[in-house]
Amino acid sequence: MALPDFTLSAGPVSVTARTLAGLSQPMLYHYDPEFKAAFVRTQDKVAQIFKTTNDIVLMQGEAIVGLEGALRSLITPGMHVLNLVQGVFGKGTGYWVSGFGAVLHEIEVGYDDAVSPAAVEAYLDEHPEIQMVCLVASETPSGTVTDVAKIGPLCRDRGILTYIDTVSGVLGMQWETDEWGLDVCVAGAQKCLGGPPGVALISVSQKAWDVMYANPAAPRDSYLSLIDWKEKWLGEGRFPYTPSVSDMGGLEAALDQALEEGIDAVVARHELAAEVTRAGAQAMGLELWAVREEILSACVTSIRLPDNFDNAVVRDLARERYGVMLSHGQGAGNLVRLSHMGPTAGGMHSIIGLATLGRTLADLGMPVNIGAGIEAALSVLSAQRK
Ligand SMILES: *Cc1c(COP(=O)(O)O)cnc(C)c1O
């Protein structure tokens, strides 16, 4: 099959020419002074987008290596952990939490809904034994967000650790690691930042390091070890293993572009793209997946499909017939996702996604008003650009 004309997926996303150039720099030895300096600069730039003075660890591998490594490092056998579940990634965190030996507590809602700060507060009031709260800031498969701005501080004020999957959160929403008192945050390069999949971006508070060091079960001398990164690289300037040299070049290029554009401007661009996409989808007669508008994420719009339209069939046809790669719900439900993430957040990308989805559904026999949808989306886009 030919390559797609447009990749409008929920990560990895299309990257800019400048990011591609960053990925094709000379293959330096990892102890070359130039590479070491670039690694340190890149950590500082990640700290800027996280808005933190905490340590930054750049684990080499997709975000999952950071999520798993951090959680294994934090979970002390018998620890009481409250996990918030509103989607596939949150559910997966829970399997890890109990698998790694903690006592799992969960607040779970439908995958088209969000756990409220009030529910978290009430649970913590009733369960003073909770030592850590785990949550997913942006449930990418369902296109919903969790209110980290409220839940973070309420955990911090009670001295409870927070472990946050913000793989598609950072740059796709307002993000304040320090102001919200977040202990461990893990982001991915290949989502709203528009970088390559291959590096996990992690911030670690002093409190989190203290817990890891006191934890006999924390991985050491292991690919999953955060302590190795703290002691060897941050402490002694020695890498625990060879970093992914090319990915680091792409990551720094993507960070430079985000910082030059401005963090607030990048977030605003995602929000505007989401507004265009939602307006178009609804005017077309499609139903948004999320049950409430306040919980919609800005990086992806999930659209609910009727039972007789299989999301896999829709996605395959869009790719085959129109050369546009869309995403499915990764098990969240029968939905299809129009992503507006990284370089695809903005301008006509949403229009292409809407037109593709609309026509694909029409081809499969669903009554959709494609014209009205495109018209509505363009009206929002045009008003934004005035
Ligand atoms: C992309 C993503 C990850 C990384 O998981 P993959 O399955 O490797 O893509 C983790 N959490 C969230 C919320 C994500 O969006």
Pocket of ligand 1 (CB under 6 A): 11, 62-64, 89, 136, 138, 140, 165, 167-168, 188, 191
Which of 83, 167, 170, 202 is the pocket-test mutation for ligand 1 (most atoms within 8 Å of CB)? 167
Residue of 89, 173, 302, 337 best suited for mutating to test ligand 1, as the one with most atoms within 8 Å of CB:
89
C-alpha closest to that of 266 among 337, 201, 345, 338? 345
Give the Cα separation of 112 and 138 in Å (integer). Answer: 12
The amino acid that residue 88 corresponds to is V
pLDDT string in tens for the chain (386-residue length): 899 999 999 999 999 999 999 999 999 999 999 999 999 999 999 999 999 999 999 999 999 999 999 999 999 999 999 999 999 999 999 999 999 999 999 999 999 999 999 999 999 999 999 999 999 999 999 999 999 999 999 999 999 999 999 999 999 999 999 999 999 999 999 999 999 999 999 999 999 999 999 999 999 999 999 999 999 999 999 999 999 999 999 999 999 999 999 999 999 999 999 999 999 999 999 999 999 999 999 999 999 999 999 999 999 999 999 999 999 888 889 999 999 999 999 999 999 999 999 999 999 999 999 999 999 999 999 999 88
- The residue among 244, 266, 129, 147 whose CA lies nearest residue 196 is 244
Q: Ligand 1 center to residue 63 CA distance, Å?
A: 7
Task: Write out 262-292 in H/E/C secondary structure.
Answer: CHHHHHHHHHHHHHHHHHHHHHCCCEECCCC
- The answer to whether position 373 is within a domain reads yes
Which CATH number fits the domain that encloses residue 65? 3.40.640.10
Exposure of 139 by Cβ count < 10 A (0-12 exposed, 13-18 middle, 19+ buried)? Answer: buried
Shared domain for 115 and 149, answered yes or no, is yes
- By alpha-carbon position, which residue is closest to atom 8 of ligand 1? 64
Q: What is the CATH number of the domain that holds 327?
A: 3.90.1150.10
Looking at the structure of the chain, the number of domains it has is 2
pLDDT number for residue 386? 85
Q: Which of 87, 41, 71, 104 is nearest to 186 (CA)?
A: 71
CA 198–ligand 1 middle distance (angstroms) = 12
Provide the domain limits for residue 275.
6-12+262-384
